[in-house]
Amino acid sequence: MRLKCLVPRCENYGVNLMCPPFTPPPQEFRTILSRYSYALLVAVEHIDPPHPSKNSKEEVVNELAKSSRVLSDIMLMLEREALRMGYRFAAGLTGGECMFCDSCVGLGGRCKHPFKARPSMEAMGIDVVATLKNAGVELNFPVEDRLTWWGLLLFD
């Protein structure tokens, strides 16, 4: 999956602190992942998402960022609840790049939302499409009338 960050080079590579190369390499994450026993997939649907042919790029980005932040907020709430229940290593991952800021502070900067920002599953090397397929969920591309943001809560 990390190859998709490099070829073709994603615009967030080396820029967004929640994306490679700032996230753990896949081998390290594989070791971390082996310590977890459970995972919960979370879906947030955005019905009738803005379309580049009908909306300006700015409108599309703003609307998608809003729905992405909804998923992030849900993941943080679930992570907090899991911690409260005694799952002290609970960790939430989102799908796609972090969208809390219009532009990330990047290399040398300090994250403006360190307690909210979470890396994406893709940045950690997770093949989201294969993971969803293993869970019985089929993704269809291209996205037409509904966009689904996916998150993953890991707990021990």
Q: pLDDT tens per residue, the chain (156 residues)?
A: 788 888 888 888 999 999 999 999 989 999 999 999 999 999 998 777 666 677 777 777 777 788 888 899 999 999 999 999 999 999 999 988 888 888 899 888 899 999 899 999 999 999 999 999 999 998 877 777 778 889 999 998
Question: What's the pLDDT at 49?
Answer: 67
Contact (Cβ atoms closer than 8 angstroms) between residue 119 and residue 64: no
What residue spans define the domains of the chain? 3-155
Cβ neighbour number for residue 130 with a 10 Å cutoff: 10
CA 15 to CA 123: how far, in whole Å? 13
Global confidence as pTM: 0.87
| Residue labelled with tokens 């490679």 | 20
